[in-house]
Every structure is written in C-alpha cells, then in structure tokens.
Structure 1
Amino acid sequence: MGRATFVWGSCDCSLVAADWCRTRRGVDPAASLRGRYSTALGAMRHVRRLGGFEAMARGLMAGAGFATTKAPRPGDIGLVTHPVVGPVFAIRCALGWAVKSPEGVAVGDYPAVTAWSV
C-alpha cells in the first residue's frame, strides 16, 4: 500500500481498502468497480452514479457482507473525512486512519463517518 504508486482505478483509496478486505477475508467489496475507471473524473462519475461516496461505500461494503462497527479496531475499514479531499476509504491502524493518496499514505485522526469490521 505505502510504496505502490497511486493510480486511479488500480491503486486509489477505494481499491487499496478493497484489496485489504480481499487479503484479510477473501471478499472484494469493489469487484464491480475494477477496470471501470482510470482517471479522477471517471472515478467521480461512478461515485455519482452510485449515489455519492457514502452511499457507494455503504452499498459496496454491505453487498460484500461486511458489518458496521461503532468501535473500529486496527485492521478495520472506514469511510473517513479527510480535511482536503473529503470522504475517503481508510484502514484503521494503531496511529489513526491510513489513507492512500497521490502523495503516498497519510495517517491521521480523521473523523469516521462509518466503519466496518474486517
């Protein structure tokens, strides 16, 4: 996650989180998104088509069988609010939420909108 270059449609915040789920549980919540976009504009089109980022996140995670949690632990996935980009998928770690970005991985105490147990 940290060393891989950010690439829309293969190594962005949504697909890194989905890869984590696939590795940990063998289920890919973003299977329907893979290969569907390759630019920020393309990603945003899919987000809009799926009702916005929160609706998309909730739909993908519920559709893959992940239960929400009010007490995320390291290894869980969350939809958090990044102060610059807004809603993003993140992985909970001991230091906060880890978010894949074009600059690498940002770790912070971002407010969680919702989270799922992985």
Structure 2
Amino acid sequence: MAASLIHLQRWLLDRRQLPFAFGTSDCCLVLADWACANGYSDGAASLRGTYSLRDEMEDLLKSSGGALGLVDGCARRAGLKQSSKRTPGCVGVVGSGHDVLRQWGAIWDGQHWQIHWGIGFEALHAPVLKMWRV
C-alpha cells in the first residue's frame, strides 16, 4: 500500500484549511487519518476525543513517552512498518529526542516534513526520530 506523491499532494491540499484541534485534528492524529486514507486501520481510534485541552495533551504525551511513543503505538496498531528511508507519504516523529513536548508527528512530502499546527500543514526541517512507511 505505497502512498503516491500525487495522492499525498491532493490529500494535503484538501486539508489546507483544516484547523488544529487537540484530540480530533492534531499533529499526531492526522498521521492516522493519512494512514486510513491509504487503506490502513485507524491506529489512533482509542485516542480520538479523549483529550481536548493543551494540558490534557501534554499529560498524554508525558505518560506515553512523547509523540514518539504515542505514534509508535498507533503505527503498530495500524500495521505500519518502520522505515529507515524517507519516501513521499511516510509518517514520522520529528523534533527533540530529549524533550517530549518538542516532538511532532509529520508526513514526508519528498522535500520537507509536513506538520499540522495552526491551520493546514507547514513545511519543517527537523531531525527525524522514527518513521514508518504508508
């Protein structure tokens, strides 16, 4: 189930006005949305709607080992395979390996990591901590 670059570009474009919302549309849950759009099961189903405030999200991140631990669990439940090669459409966790509140879920578009915060997605260059093929 390899994601195509055209499919990814269309998917990101369709979400250019998507507002960030903790627990429904945040930087980690959109990774599960992308995986679902490519035929995988929703590895984040158990998390959806369980938090809606920044403090709740921070507590979840701290108790899960950051976005790295949270996304790793979701990726395993969805059946994604870890990858060491960046390919368009792969998902990853980028940011700090030391500060769990400075980690973000992201989608590789072939040139940048696309991170959902604010409205839509924003391109970012950041160290990748782990990634999975979609």
Q: Quick one: which of 82, 85, 89 aligns to 1:68?
A: 82
Moved more, 18-27 or 56-65: 56-65
Q: Is the 8 A contact 1:95 1:108 kept in 2?
A: no
Deviation at 1:103, TM superposition (A): 5.0
Q: Quote the Cα distance in structure 1 between the aligned partners of 2:133 and 2:40.
A: 14
Provide closer, same or farther for how the CA distance between residues 77 and 16 of structure 1 changes in structure 2, counting only shifts above 3 A.
Answer: same
| Paired AA for residue 58 in structure 1 | D
Could you tell me which residue of structure 2 aligns to residue 91 of structure 1?
A: 107
Deviation at 1:111, TM superposition (A): 1.3
Could you tell me which residue of structure 2 aligns to residue 44 of structure 1?
A: 58
Q: Which runs of 5+ in 1 are unaligned?
A: none
| Paired AA for residue 131 in structure 2 | A
Moved more, 28-37 or 94-103: 94-103
Instruction: Give SS of 1:4's match.
Output: coil
Say yes or no: does 1:11 pair with 2:25.
Answer: yes
| Paired AA for residue 42 in structure 1 | E
4+ residue segments displaced more than 6 Å: none
TM-score after normalising by structure 2? 0.78
Q: Quote the Cα distance in structure 1 between the aligned partners of 2:62 and 2:39.
A: 28
Report the number of matched residues.
Answer: 116
Could you tell me which residue of structure 2 aligns to residue 110 of structure 1?
A: 126
Instruction: Give SS of 1:47's match.
Output: helix
Q: Which runs of 5+ in 2 are unaligned?
A: 1-14
Instruction: Give SS of 2:115's match.
Output: strand
Q: Is the 8 A contact 2:17 2:119 kept in 1?
A: no
Greater fraction helix = 2
| Paired AA for residue 62 in structure 1 | R
